Every structure is written in C-alpha cells, then in structure tokens.
Amino acid sequence: MKRMKQILIVMLMAVLLCGNTLTVFAEPDDNDSGNNNNYGSPSDQYASDEWKDQIRGELNRFYSDLKLRYKMTDEKIRRMDKIYNSAMTYMKNAALTMSELTSYENEIEGYLSEIAKENTTGTEKFLMLSNEVPITDAKFGEQTFVVLSLINLGKTDITDVVLTPTVSNDKTKWPFDINQAYDAQTIQIIQAADDTVDAFNKRMDIGWYFNVRSDVLTGCYPLPFHATYYQNGALVETDITTYINIKGANPSKKLIEDPDKQTSNPRIIVTGYKTEPEVVYAGSVFKLSVSVKNTSKQTAVENVLFNLEATVEGKDADATYSAFLPTSGSSSVYTERISPGETYDMSIEMEAKSDLSQKPYVLTVNMKYDTDEQINLSDVAHVSVPIKQEAKLDTGSAEIIPESIPVGDQSNVMFSVFNTGKTTLYNVKVTYESETVESGITYLGNIAPGATQNVDSMLTGIAPDTGEGIVKAVITYEDEAGNETRFEKDLNLLVYEMSFDEGMEDIPMEPMEEEPQKKGLPMAAIIGIIVGVIAVIVIVVVIISKKKKAKKQKEDMDLLDEDDV
C-alpha cells in the first residue's frame, strides 16, 4: 500500500511538471517472444536493449555532427533538442521491432537535418594538407612525382574526394608540359579524426607524374589543385596548394614575380606545427610551435618578421575579437637570418578565449623578410588549432524523503543537475553506489549549455548501514567524442534493520495466539462454579423445605395438645 501511494505521488508530480500531460510508454507483454531478443535478432522481432542502445548512440553521433557542421541560433538548437530528447526517450521505452526502430531513427535524422539546414550557407571545410610530405625537388626535362598528403580535421568523414590540377600556359605559374589532359584523381573516403595527431595517422596520399618543361625557370613554384568532396551529403569545393623546387637549364633565369627583376625570390613555408598541451581548451594558455623553412638553396633571408593573426570572432563589427591572444602582448616573432634550405623553429605563448566554440580555428602566419638584393618580400601560411570546450557539471542540494528507512522500504531522492559549461553534456545518467540500497539507472539524456535536468529516483533499502549512512550518487556524461566523465555526490540516507523490544522476544508465538482465551476463566472452572451454584441452590431448597416441614409438624402437635385439653 505504501509503495502504491509513492507511485501515485510520483505520477502526479510528473503530470504537474509536464503541463498536465503524462505520456505512458507501452511495454511488451511477458508472453511476447521479443522480450528476450539479443542484438542482431531478425528485424520483425522486438528490439533488445543492446539494439536500442546502438540505435540511440547512432542518433546521438548524428546530432552532434549537425551541431559541428552548421552554425545555428539558440532558438534552432532548442527546437532540435526538443525533438532529439523526445526521440531518445521514446526509443528507450517503446516496444518496437528492430526494423521499426531503425525506420524511426531515420525519420528523426531527417527532421533534425531539415532544421539544421534552414537559412545556412553550407558546411565547414576541413580538407587540408598534412605538411608531412617534404617539398619535392625536380629538374628541367625530367619526370617528377608530386604527392598531396590530405587530412580531414572535421568530425565527420569526407567522401568522394576529387582533385584536379589547375594548369596554366604561363611557365611562371605551371612548370610542367601540357602535352596531355591531366586526369582527376579520386579518394573514396578520408576519415574523421579525434585530434590533429589522429588526423595525420588517417591521412590519404594521392599523386601525379608530371614532365618538367625544358625552358622552366629556377625557383619554388606553387602548384594549385581544385578539390570537391561530399560531407554528410553536401557538396563542398575548395583549393589545395603545394610547392615544388625546380632547377632550370639556365641558373641565371630564375622565377620572379616582377619581370624587370633578374633575381629569384626565396620562399618561406610552414613545414609543421604543434601545441603544448596537445589538446587546447577554451580559456587555457598554450604554447604554439611553428617550423618554417627557407626553400631557396642559394639565397638567405634576413630581418625576418613573423606576425601571427588569429581568426576574428563576433557577430558584428562592434563586437569582434581575436580567437587567440598572445600572453606577452605581442604576436610577432623576429629572427635575423635563415640560411638557404634552413629550418627555423619559433614558439609563442597564447591564450584561447574562454567563449570559443568547439571547432578548429585558423591562425595566419604573415612573413616579411629581406634578401641581399630585395626588401619587404612576403609570404603567408596558415595553421589550424582545434579548440575544445571543457565540460562542466554541478548539482543542487538533494531532497531525501525520508532520510532514514528500514530494510525493505523506499526513499525518494530528488536533486538538480546543472550544465555550467559551454558544451553539451551527452548521455547523462545517474546511478547509486552503496551496499545498503538498490536502484536502477535514471537517464537524463543530453543537457545543453546552461540547461538543467532534474533527478527523481526511488531507492530501496536492502541491507542495514554499518557506517555513516552515506549513499554515493554517480553522474556520468560523455563529450562530443564519446569520452565518459564521472561526477560523484554523497547523499545522507540511513538504512536500518527493524527490531523488537527484548521483553517481547521471550514471549512464544503460540501462547500469543491463545491470548484471547486467557482473558476469561477456564472451562473447567466455569463448570465447577455452575455445579457449585446448583449445589448451593439445592441445599437452600432442602433447608427451606425442612424448615417448612418442621414448622407444620409443630403446628400439628400444638393442635393435638389443644384437643387433649
């Protein structure tokens, strides 16, 4: 009866909190064979819990990718969260066959995708060169092999990649013979990566054989390629540029930007970069190390000034700011000289703004330098720094009713979970660790930044407490990469064993059942009393009868005496 009252109270609270609407999910009947299906069962049978978790995980990853790819307003995210959370709850509780569950997931993904694409300009571009392949050296009249080493810095796979050389008849822009139509090269897929190191490990190489022109000029040539690919069904176009060092037949004829100058311009390129720590969180300080190389084999560069400019963020011109700021106050690095073919390593300590979104940010490296014959030469390079937002969680005060229960009874535990960070908490769930209580899992779903979810759990006492009456609530959640984090909260809940008074323990159970008979006299006593009463009555009657008889005899004697007189 007590359990039934608690269930009714919880249902009433749910009705009030949900705006007088209470949704009840149908559970399969006990006789339904689908209840015991395992993962991989036929599609016309009911989905097992393992299959439901698999499908819900796929929907979670799909929704996370949408948030990464598209820039969406808070209102749009609220609309999508409502659909997503409702779908996750329904798929967990509803009695659906495996085919019905899969079909439902596809419908939800379609709804979410339509909302995400409303009033958007397209997808983010994450196809880049890995800088792992060194600059190729080639000679006039010879054949050379040019390799592009491509990486995907996005959170979703890139498919159907097509790359085509952007050729030109100008020998200062394209150092190869155009005696054939260069075929486009394709890559079926470039996998998404967890971080930059993982992206390098998953890079894909693609290459072409080119014949160097016999009249080529000596110098470092940029080689442009046009790329198209699909990212979650959307077609993306971009340009990829690599470089090659060419040695011409006449060393005095060098590649120049100005036809009036007869000396070549050395180029400075970025050959690699790294961050310390490797994973950079918004609001943290990190050291960026960049390696640059003077690609010229003959000319040194002097008075080299590097200026690092981060991506500018902000919705309007009056509220823009740089994603990264140097901790020293200056974003410039200076070196006196870089010799021909020499590599120079520079480092700068920077701080990432605390409100940055979780995505890669481009850092532009502007380079100015002089040579013996020219001044104010320049080059530009770009590096990408992925930024992560640290997930943060907090809880409110717990309400425990009652705070002390005997073994077998239940207590209602209620408290709030707050997302105090700037990234969504995924698959939030609450369990309880204690040898004194038993409970299931309270699933809260996803919690958006700044949002709150409420925990309402029933704990059943299974063993008396031998310590301080502490039950540990364990809250787990995942980030966008699926990494799980654990948060613990101590609850004061005492479980005790129901006991009786010592005096009551000595009383045997069977006499207690006969207790109502002990309240009156025994049957034998009652019979004795009745017999005694009857005997007394008989004696009294006999005595009275004898007295009457004696009185009559006396009266008769007196009459006889009177007659004799």
Residues 277 and 320 in one domain: yes
Angle between helices 74-93 and 98-116 (to 10 degrees): 180
Q: Of 249, 264, 279, which one is at a domain's C-terminal end?
A: 264
Is 156 in contact with 359 (CB distance < 8 Å)? no
Whether the bond between 402 and the residue before it is cis, its omega within 30 degrees of 0, is: yes
- Three-state SS annotation for 82-134: HHHHHHHHHHHHCCCEHHHHHHHHHHHHHHHHHHHCCCCCCCCCCEEECCCCC
Q: Would 45 be classed as within a structural domain? A: yes
Residues 152 and 42 in one domain: no
Asked if the structure places residue 538 within a domain, the reply is: no
Q: Is the pTM of this model over 0.85?
A: no
Residue 23 has pLDDT above 70, yes or no: no
Q: Specify the pLDDT at position 262.
A: 41
* 454 and 401 assigned to the same domain: yes
The pLDDT of 94-123, averaged and rounded, is: 80
The verdict on residue 453 lying in a domain is yes
Q: What percent of the chain has pLDDT over 70?
A: 75
Res. 559 pLDDT band, cuts 50 70 90: low
The answer to whether residues 385 and 397 belong to one domain is no
Residues 133 and 248 both lie in one domain: yes
Is 370 within the bounds of a domain?
Answer: yes
Q: What local confidence, expressed as pLDDT, does residue 180 receive?
A: 64
Instruction: Identify the domain boundary among 264, 280, 310.
Output: 264
Does one domain contain both 31 and 56?
Answer: yes
Q: What is the C-alpha separation between 201 and 149, in angstroms, rounded?
A: 11
Asked if residue 40 is part of any domain, the answer here is yes
pLDDT tens-digit map of 333-381: 889 999 998 999 998 888 888 878 778 888 888 899 988 778 888 888 8
Nearest to 243 by CA among 397, 361, 138, 102: 138
Residue 122, amino acid: G
Indicate whether 463 belongs to any domain.
yes
HEC profile for 435-482? CCEECCCEEEEEECCCCEEEEEEEEEECCCCCCCCEEEEEEEEECCCC
Calculate helix-pair angle for 74-93, 49-69, nearest 10 degrees: 170
Considering the domain boundaries, does residue 514 fall inside one? no
Per-residue pLDDT tens digits for 121-135: 544 557 877 766 667
Could you tell me if 186 and 230 lie in one domain? Answer: yes
Same domain, 181 and 137: yes
- Is residue 278 located within the same domain as residue 377? yes
Mean pLDDT over 51-76 rounds to 78
Q: What's the structural domain count of the chain?
A: 4
Predicted local distance difference test score (pLDDT) of residue 51: 85
The average pLDDT across 544-557 equals: 63
Question: Which tokens go with 357?
Answer: 């979104």
Three-state DSSP string of 171-212: CCCCCECCCCCCCCEEEEEECCCCCHHHHHHCCEEEEEEEEE
Instruction: CATH number of the domain at 169, please.
Output: 2.60.40.10
- Rounded CA-CA distance 86/82 in Å is 6
Final residue of a domain: which of 389, 406, 421? Answer: 389
Please compute the mean of the pLDDT values over residues 242-258 and round it to a whole number. Answer: 79
- If asked whether residues 247 and 284 sit together in one domain, one would say no
| 488, part of any domain | yes
Q: Does residue 93 sit in the same domain as residue 27?
A: yes
Domain span at 447: 393-496
Higher pLDDT, 24 or 94: 94
Shared-domain flag, residues 139 and 109? no
